[in-house]
Amino acid sequence: MTTSSSYPVSPGPSATLALPRIAVLATGGTIAGAAADVTNTSGYQAGVVGVDQLLSAVPALSTVARIAPEQIASIDSKDMALPLWTTVAQRVNTLLAADDVDGVVITHGTDTLEETAYLLHLTVKSDKPVVLTAAMRPASALSADGPLNLLNAVTVAAHAAARGQGVLVAFNNRIHSARDVVKTSTYAVDAFQSPEIGALGWVQDGRVDIQRAVVRAHTLTSEFSIGTAWPAVEIVASYAGVSRVAVDALVAAGVRGIVVAGTGNGSIHQALQQALAEAASRGVAVVRSSRVGSGHVMRNGAAADDALGFVSAGALNPYKTRVLLMLALAAGVTGAAALQKVFDTY
């Protein structure tokens, strides 16, 4: 079916009409941050610079793509909310279903970027490129990193090699898979890394080089869709001297799932493990992840998952584990065995 986005594509010079059409959805973040002083890179306000101003700071964009800008939110991404996730994912799906949109770039705060990226990786129903980008320095700063990150993100989204790779993150000249990428530094401009597995490729001076494929299920092969129902799933951590208070409170509050940021291989303090085993026996989904920051959590490794009714998150960090668990529960997946299959697939 031929559809149109009804989207006001910025008219560029006629010579650019053959360029790919890329929708740029702005959500806020430091990339849209401003401070009174160019040397201030920590006390600024995120999400105050509009998408038109972001784009006008990068004239070279007009040589790469025809840009259709949209301000979908203006937030500090620490405040990302579940209804906004629904709005963003639905908008991306609507845009990509249109014949006059070739790809989508999303500007986002760095703080929860990896969660939004993974959510979209699992719920976008298109093989057209979707690329998230962000910045560690506000738009007002000396050596702001946002303009080049934005140009690189649009360059990736406009490139044929990005098609079918799932949702990507373009940051500091690297191209990462949404599944693997995590924020690893509070201020460094190379904050985004894919621990252990590495980036998919790089983008530099207009050249895109993607050197490996994303193998796990995503986008068109994902069984999950965006909806408006978000099952309550919370995260608890295991650490020296932890008590069972948080788990008991969550179970009393009626959560459907609990993700554990365990030590090492997702191991759990015995006090917490007892509370979680009781929660699992009452039908709460319990998934073991790790607080370490890289590596896998092996099933039946540190905990006897079969006996306790737990699920292993594999290589997903606790925050991405929560995203996948919410989608799985919303889709009606229940029971440790069925949930483990989900975590082994995505």
Residues that bind ligand SIN (CB under 6 A): 28-30, 46, 76-78, 109-111, 134, 136
Query: Cβ of residue 105: shortest distance to ligand SIN, in angstroms?
Result: 15
Which one, 42 or 228, has the nearer CB to ligand SIN? 42
Least CB distance from residue 183 to ligand SIN, whole Å? 8
Contact, 164 vs 79, CB < 8 A? no
Q: How far is the CB of 222 from ligand SIN (least distance, A)?
A: 25
Helices (H), the chain: 51-56, 82-96, 113-123, 146-157, 245-253, 270-281, 305-308, 318-330, 336-345
DSSP code, position 11: P
The CA distance from 86 to 93, in Å, is: 11
Query: How remote is the C-alpha of 95 from its chain's centroid?
Result: 18
AA identity, residue 311: V
Catalytic residue among 3, 16, 27, 30: 30
Single-letter code of the amino acid located at 45: Q
Clarify whether 3 is annotated catalytic.
no
Structure tokens at 66: 């025809």
Strand runs (DSSP E) across 223-302, as ranges? 233-237, 257-262, 285-290
The H or E element that residue 168 is part of is strand 167-171
76 versus 102: smaller Cβ distance to ligand SIN: 76
- Least CB distance to ligand SIN at residue 187 (A): 9
276 near 250, Cβ under 8 Å?
A: no
The residue whose two tokens read 């784009």 is: 55
Give the nearest distance from C-beta 177 to ligand SIN in angstroms. Answer: 20
Question: Closer CB to ligand SIN, residue 131 or residue 272?
Answer: 131
Closest CB to ligand SIN among residues 29, 201: 29
Question: What number of H helices and E strands is found in the chain?
Answer: 9, 14
- 103 or 109: CB nearest ligand SIN: 109
CB count, 10 Å around CB of 167? 29
Cβ-proximal residue to ligand SIN, closest one: 109
Residues annotated catalytic, as ranges: 30
